[in-house]
Chain A
Amino acid sequence: MVPPGVRPGGSDTIHTHGAKTRLDQFLQHCLNALMLGGTYALLGIGLTLIFGIMRVVNFTHGELYAFGAYCMYALVVPVGMNFFLALLLAMVLGALLGAVIEMLLLGRLRGADIDTTMLVMIGAWIAMQNTEQLIWSGVALTVPNPFPSAPLVVGPLSVSWLRIFVLFTAVGLIFAAYTVVNRTKLGKAMRATFQDRDTAALMGVRIDRMHTATFALGSGLAAASGALLGPVFVVNPTMGDLAAAKAFAIVILGGLGNIAGATIGGFILAFAEELGAGYVSSGYRDAMGFVLIIIILLVKPTGLFAQRERIG
């Protein structure tokens, strides 16, 4: 399902100028990784809520990422909406789609074991991806953006304005998500629901709503990262596959349900990919995430930053 071609993280929009020293090259790789890491973190946080807290192996996560990117394209190109407004709307629509998926598909499987929900999510993923393929065909689409095309040049390093915007938006959203989960009443109810369902219900938490809200929040974050990276790279129906795989890598790196861990995991993966592509082989860029997953699970299966033992 992942044809060779353009993929998240596959092309480089950051320009290089003339001959560079080895140190400059290294710094440029680090800068690129930093830019990419923000969106990876966002993607990972979305999944850590669903996979880590809800314990649903969410194979549709990558499709919500792709959905965000397609929303961006549809709203900016045919509709002609403002770029920033489209970004906001893509996020909201992603959260709504997540809520619908949760109510429609998982609503009747509350309390089912993890394998059962996983099979349902695989089915949903296949259906969603092929619907995208049917509507948009396999052609890669580009989303225009309002930022100047000339990159920002600082000494030997350069970075595009779009990517700076993407990084700052991603970091802002990460803080927002962290605040919602850890500092609000809604977040407390969410955490309570998945820690002890019965007790939370006895305390007056509406369990069904919490399931839907958590899934919607995670989906909204996935759509947001798709909407942010869509204009950086290109939009195509299989873009979600690698995104989903990377999200799983990030969540496992950071430990399940750990937002701070997922944030750091996102940056670690971005650095591993960027430096691996720069110094090992660009063909194996996308293998870095998988190799990291295998190493982490074999060496420290609870993730790098987990507080609790949670391996079944």
Chain B
Amino acid sequence: MMKYFPQAFLGLLVSVPFWLTDSYMLHILITTGIFIIAAMSLNLLLGYTGQLSLGHVAFFGIGAYGSALTSLGFEITLPGGIPLGVSPKPVWFAMLVGIVAAGFTGWAIGKLAFRVRGAYFVIVSISFAEVVRLVAVNWVELTQGPMALNNIPVLRLGWGSAEVAFLRKPAFYWLVLAVGTVCYIIISRLVSSRAGRAMIALRENEPLAMSVGVDVTRYLVLATIVSAAMAGSAGALYTHYIRIVDPDIFLFVYTVTMVIMVVTGGKGTLAGPIVGGVIFGLIPELLRTMAIKPEVQWIIYGVVMVLVVYFLPMGIVPALRNWRGGQQASSTAAASGPQMEGAGK
């Protein structure tokens, strides 16, 4: 039964706009979906290579700004008086530019930051995100600074009468679902490949991995590129959905949200970011209906994070798997194994 669970779950998700007509609920699902994509990308680094990137929001924001700027066009003067102008491009192309820009940044950061590990890598990644945020605030000519980029165009695909504008919520929901599914498939393929095993090996024991010939930096950089590009795709989706982008997109709270989603759901599992993302995407709405202030919501987030580390250190998904493994005979537990392979310790 569990074998076809991902397919059945995907089918359920596809059907949502047919029976859920409440536009606000759909909006919540769309933003949750975008954050789940970002959380999945963070999970690739945090869960599979064991590197905590606390600057992950920078990739998200670069994807958002890259896509917004390419679709709007811009004219700037580079140092030395060289003018640089980009005319407005179609949105699908702009989104690709955003993804590539994020991936390229991931490559550069990976090359530089992986000279250090652990706490140092965390601090370098935070510093990087803050520098990017300050550039977005201060480079007004390009980014409009705190005035924000407005009227970001909507994604249109197809030609003539067959053109689809991703303006209405059901259409955008399916778009997010499609991108999310592609990211899920890429990650699941990647982590069960040779490269994925190398990543897990270096997470578990880096000196040992090196000693058997794993090119550690190469795989870390590879993971960072893929992860950054996915975070960039989430940012590009976000910017063409909300249609306004300002430097607040680089705020540290977004990174924290992604980290909480991954850690609670279960880092290093394919389903973890989705479970965590659904929980932390819906909790704010639940609290809002209970008329709880946002400060209290964040206090609850903080407390939940501490409690998860204490009581569910591996996260919900591995805990459930262990629980089920204990409940049932080993044969059924083995049947549910394959889709989670390479996950957990």
For B252, the closest partner residue in chain A by CB is: A1
For A127, the closest partner residue in chain B by CB is: B302
Cβ contact within 8 Å between A2 and B119: no
- Given A127-B303, A134-B295, A134-B296, check contact A298 B313 (CB 8 Å): no
Cβ contact within 8 Å between A283 and B138: yes
Q: Smallest distance from the beta carbon of A92 to chain B beta carbons, Å?
A: 25
Q: Smallest distance from the beta carbon of A150 to chain B beta carbons, Å?
A: 34
Cβ contact within 8 Å between B120 and A311: yes
Cβ contact within 8 Å between B131 and A287: yes
Could you tell me the distance between the alpha carbons of A67 and B124 in the complex, rounded to whole angstroms?
Answer: 26
- Given A134-B293, A134-B299, check contact A284 B117 (CB 8 Å): no
Cβ contact within 8 Å between A116 and B296: no
Cβ contact within 8 Å between B116 and A297: yes
Chain B window 116-132, contacts with chain A (Cβ cutoff 8 Å), 1 for yes, 0 for no: 11111011101110110
Could you tell me the dominant secondary structure of chain A's interface residues? helix
Name which of B152-160, B180-188, B215-223, B304-312 contacts chain A.
Answer: B304-312
- Given A123-B309, A127-B303, A241-B252, check contact A290 B127 (CB 8 Å): yes
Cβ contact within 8 Å between B263 and A294: no
- Given A1-B253, A4-B146, A57-B122, check contact A245 B127 (CB 8 Å): yes
For A133, the closest partner residue in chain B by CB is: B295
Say whether A126 faces chain B, with CB atoms less than 8 Å apart. yes
Cβ contact within 8 Å between A108 and B116: no
Cβ contact within 8 Å between B256 and A114: no
Which listed residue, A4, A124, A245, A248, touches B137 by the CB 8 Å rule?
A4
Say whether A21 faces chain B, with CB atoms less than 8 Å apart. no
Q: Smallest distance from the beta carbon of B200 to chain A beta carbons, Å?
A: 16
Which residues of the other chain, A, contact B194 by a CB distance below 8 angstroms? Answer: none
Chain A window 97-136, contacts with chain B (Cβ cutoff 8 Å), 1 for yes, 0 for no: 0000000010011000011101110111111111101100
Query: How many residue pairs between the two chains, A and B, have CB atoms under 8 Å in the bound complex?
Result: 129
Cβ contact within 8 Å between A284 and B134: yes
Cβ contact within 8 Å between A105 and B122: no
Cβ contact within 8 Å between B134 and A286: yes
Say whether B259 faces chain A, with CB atoms less than 8 Å apart. yes
Say whether A51 faces chain B, with CB atoms less than 8 Å apart. yes
Q: Smallest distance from the beta carbon of A93 to chain B beta carbons, Å?
A: 21
Could you tell me the distance between the alpha carbons of A4 and B135 in the complex, rounded to whole angstroms?
Answer: 13
Cβ contact within 8 Å between A120 and B127: no
Say whether A312 faces chain B, with CB atoms less than 8 Å apart. yes
For B46, the closest partner residue in chain A by CB is: A115
Say whether A291 faces chain B, with CB atoms less than 8 Å apart. yes
Say whether B251 faces chain A, with CB atoms less than 8 Å apart. yes
Cβ contact within 8 Å between A125 and B120: no
Could you tell me the distance between the alpha carbons of A50 and B293 in the complex, rounded to whole angstroms?
Answer: 33
Cβ contact within 8 Å between B259 and A122: yes
From B50, B127, B296, residue with most partner A Cβ within 10 Å? B127
Cβ contact within 8 Å between A293 and B309: no
For window 283-312 of chain A, which residues contact chain B by CB distance below 8 Å? 283-284, 286-287, 289-291, 293-294, 297-298, 301, 311-312
B contact residues vs A (CB 8 Å cutoff): 50, 52, 112, 115-120, 122-124, 126-128, 130-131, 134-135, 137-138, 146, 251-253, 256, 259, 263, 293, 295-296, 298-299, 301-306, 309-310, 313
| Sample (10) of A-B pairs whose CB atoms are under 8 Å apart | A2-B130, A115-B52, A119-B305, A124-B306, A130-B302, A245-B126, A297-B123, A301-B115, A301-B120, A311-B117
